[in-house]
Structure 1
Amino acid sequence: MDLPPAPNGLSNRWNLGLRWGLCSAPGCIFRDNLLKCSGCHAILYCSVAHQKADRPRHKSSCNIVKGAREDLAKEEAALRATPGDAQMPENPFETARGQFWLFRPTRSYMQSRLALTAALLNIKTGVAVETALDHSLEMLQLNPGDNQGVRGQVPGLLLRLGRDQEAYDFIKWYATVGAASDYKWGNPESPFLNLHDEDVFERVDEYAEKVYDLSMLVCLTNLKIRLLLDLQALERESKKPGNSDASYDKKMEWVREEAVSDALYKRRDIVERADWTDLIADLEGQIKTLVGYVEKKNKHYWPALNVPERWAAAYPAVYSPGSPQEINMVFRQTWYTWSECPTTMEVLKKYAGI
């Protein structure tokens, strides 16, 4: 039997651990007529009674998000009210889009917006993660040069939401278009994040070493493991009695029930195959390669997954690439992609030796 449609229309979201589309009261599984918390707008409840019962647990994070939202609103109002001058053009949200950070008065706003995303990510719901993602992507559009390092958290948020195809497109853009020596970062007319529906199964040898950001490289590894799991699920189902000649529609039922990635929803050419042995072998090779690249960039990352309690609450500090301190930030950006999809961690242990 098919699972109920997930909020993005793809059932793979139900196969991930991030709580999405359900009442946030402990033990409640209601998903109809849910109301957002009026304070943080990042958590859902099926009734006032459940909201009140959950208030002691939610109150602290709710107030932090509410305060951050209010701070951001004040910063935005101030920017919009400021007349143009030598320091900043009038209404920079339209007139300085793509070069936002160049004008010093915008920076307090951008810092407040980043603080709001951090506050939202203390709430483990799909609404909170999606809202943080929307803020992150808009910040990158305002300031593609990304002086705040926002790009590092985007792929992980996309994976947590089951939007693996978008995560792949994002990572590949930074490793190809954005990594080109002639790319003009200071020109707002330069194409930005304009790759869509790239081949998630393609080999990554040509550009994986150009993935400068460790968080992106980790997320690319996670994504490839998800693809491997989904193909293995197709292979497993096809070998069951009576399934050898299954139709495409039947195979899509398996995808909706078992897939952890959204990639196969657009890949009929792969789903309707009778055999996936070559693709599985190729993905296994890619995963080995990526695990090695991560190890080369920072030998501390894979072992850190064995002691999440040490790194999950660690405050990000100034770091140099490859140092243990780098893990403070990278762990925050990637840990939940593993913990909310534990089958990926089991596969990773085989390749990373952790």
Structure 2
Amino acid sequence: MDLPPAPNGLYNRWNLALHWGNCSGPNCHVRNNLLKCGACRAVYYCGGAHQRAHRPQHKSSCNLIKNARAQLAQEEAALRARPGDMFLEANPFETARGSFWRFTPTRPYMQARFDLISTLLNIKTGAAVEEALEHSLDMLQLNPGDNQGIRSHVPALYLRLGRDQEAYDFIKWYGTIGAQSGYEWGNPESPFLNLHDEDVFEPLGGIAKALFDLSIIVSLVNVKVRLLLDIRGLEKEFNKPAKRNTSYEKKMEWVRENATCDVLYKRRDIVERTEWTDLVAALESQAKEVFDRVEGRNKHYWPALRSPELHAAAIPTAYSPGSPEEVKLVFRNTWYSWAECPPAHELVKSWHAA
């Protein structure tokens, strides 16, 4: 394989459709010596000719991001220069971290940062999605109570980046620790997003039922479906008579070439098995359980996924749980994590059609 690994050392992101690591110019696949767009800093080019050729398509989003960056810089400078008073202590990025939104003077900054995330996500590049995720996670650390609904799109951003393990850790935290009735959201000492390398193969237990945010539940389906597809592929490849005694190293070559999620990179115990039938059955059962949970929460979501052209441009509005209006927001949060992994998208469409 001549593709470079992702920053986390894994190759799986190259099996996803998000535009990664090459020039954004027309039909250009150059990967070396790329130059970042100086205005938006979210797309790359091999040179000025392709930057100019792409400018008509890029100009609108580029200007939106440029302006959003300028607004955020202005709000951050004002907040850092603000003297402490009865409304907010000085140096709020340290003194108010953990309960940022509670102080009214911080809100213009938080809104400006949210707006930058929104503009970044208009661009379908890995650099834009990574930056949007970084902003989102830092905003959650500033304000774990999340008055802006940041948490809703985070798992799907992880999935778009091929970071399925982290998506699952995030989801499990909200379905376990964050779902506890006595959790102190306003206490900066409370453990927050502190789960790492959780077992993605594990039974759901009460996680799916504890989650209420529909976008997060949908992403849990996606996590389980992608892993199911990877294990099915592994089973199909190495159940061939000539390959049943294949070494772990050879199996990992297949994983690097074909896996869509990153989970198997740390699961030697799974990869080196010679039989995966039980895992396939368990993962399919888990995925369908959460699939049904989505259906129970909002019967309009899976039909929307089957007809994306009817929902891609829909503008989210006020909604009640279970309504078609809720799907507008959830679709916006989750659609690209399906579209950029066609096998997962096709599988859930087949389940809805059944």
TM-score between both structures, scaled by the size of structure 2: 0.98
Which residue pairs with 2:30 in the alignment? 30
Task: Give, as a single letter, the amino acid of the residue that structure 2 aligns with 1:348.
Answer: V
CA deviation profile, 1:96-140 (whole Å, cap 9, x unmatched): 100111110000110111010000000000000000000000000
Which residue pairs with 1:273 in the alignment? 273
- Structure 2: distance between partners of 1:8 and 1:313: 33
Which residue pairs with 2:182 in the alignment? 182
DSSP-derived class of the 1:305 partner: helix
Which residue pairs with 1:61 in the alignment? 61
DSSP-derived class of the 1:242 partner: helix
- Structure 2: distance between partners of 1:2 and 1:30: 13
Moved over 6 A (4+): none
DSSP-derived class of the 2:38 partner: coil
Could you tell me whether the CA contact under 8 Å between 1:338 and 1:344 is conserved in 2? yes
Task: Give, as a single letter, the amino acid of the residue that structure 1 aligns with 2:45.
Answer: Y
Which residue pairs with 2:92 in the alignment? 92
- Structure 1: distance between partners of 2:170 and 2:57: 35
DSSP-derived class of the 2:153 partner: helix
Query: Among the aligned pairs, what percent are the same residue?
Result: 65
2:340 aligned with 1:347: no
- Structure 2: distance between partners of 1:222 and 1:26: 31
- Structure 2: distance between partners of 1:200 and 1:40: 36
Which residue pairs with 1:256 in the alignment? 256
DSSP-derived class of the 1:257 partner: helix
Which residue pairs with 2:206 in the alignment? 206
Deviation of 1:34 after TM superposition, in Å, equals 1.2
Deviation of 1:345 after TM superposition, in Å, equals 1.3
Q: How does 1:5-20 map to 2 (within 5 A)?
A: 5-20=5-20
Deviation of 1:311 after TM superposition, in Å, equals 1.3
- Structure 2: distance between partners of 1:107 and 1:44: 32
- Structure 1: distance between partners of 2:45 and 2:271: 37
Q: How does 1:130-149 map to 2 (within 5 A)?
A: 130-149=130-149
Could you tell me whether the CA contact under 8 Å between 2:226 and 2:344 is conserved in 1? yes
Task: Give, as a single letter, the amino acid of the residue that structure 2 aligns with 1:302.
Answer: W
Q: How does 1:1-354 map to 2 (within 5 A)?
A: 1=1, 3-353=3-353
RMSD: 1.1
CA deviation profile, 1:318-345 (whole Å, cap 9, x unmatched): 1111010001110010000110000001
| Runs of at least 5 residues in structure 2 that lack an aligned partner in the other structure | none
Could you tell me whether the CA contact under 8 Å between 1:3 and 1:257 is conserved in 2? no
Deviation of 1:16 after TM superposition, in Å, equals 0.1
Task: Give, as a single letter, the amino acid of the residue that structure 1 aligns with 2:137.
Answer: L
- Structure 2: distance between partners of 1:200 and 1:89: 42
- Structure 1: distance between partners of 2:251 and 2:219: 27
Could you tell me whether the CA contact under 8 Å between 1:287 and 1:351 is conserved in 2? no
Deviation of 1:293 after TM superposition, in Å, equals 0.2
CA deviation profile, 1:46-93 (whole Å, cap 9, x unmatched): 111111111111011000000000000000000001000001110101
CA deviation profile, 1:17-49 (whole Å, cap 9, x unmatched): 000111111211111111110000000111111
- Structure 1: distance between partners of 2:274 and 2:240: 13
- Structure 1: distance between partners of 2:317 and 2:186: 28
Deviation of 1:353 after TM superposition, in Å, equals 2.1
- Structure 1: distance between partners of 2:243 and 2:48: 47
Task: Give, as a single letter, the amino acid of the residue that structure 2 aligns with 1:101.
Answer: W
Task: Give, as a single letter, the amino acid of the residue that structure 2 aligns with 1:294.
Answer: V
Could you tell me whether the CA contact under 8 Å between 2:183 and 2:190 is conserved in 1? yes
- Structure 1: distance between partners of 2:80 and 2:349: 51
Task: Give, as a single letter, the amino acid of the residue that structure 1 aligns with 2:157.
Answer: L
Task: Give, as a single letter, the amino acid of the residue that structure 2 aligns with 1:57.
Answer: Q
Task: Give, as a single letter, the amino acid of the residue that structure 1 aligns with 2:94.
Answer: E
- Structure 2: distance between partners of 1:283 and 1:316: 32
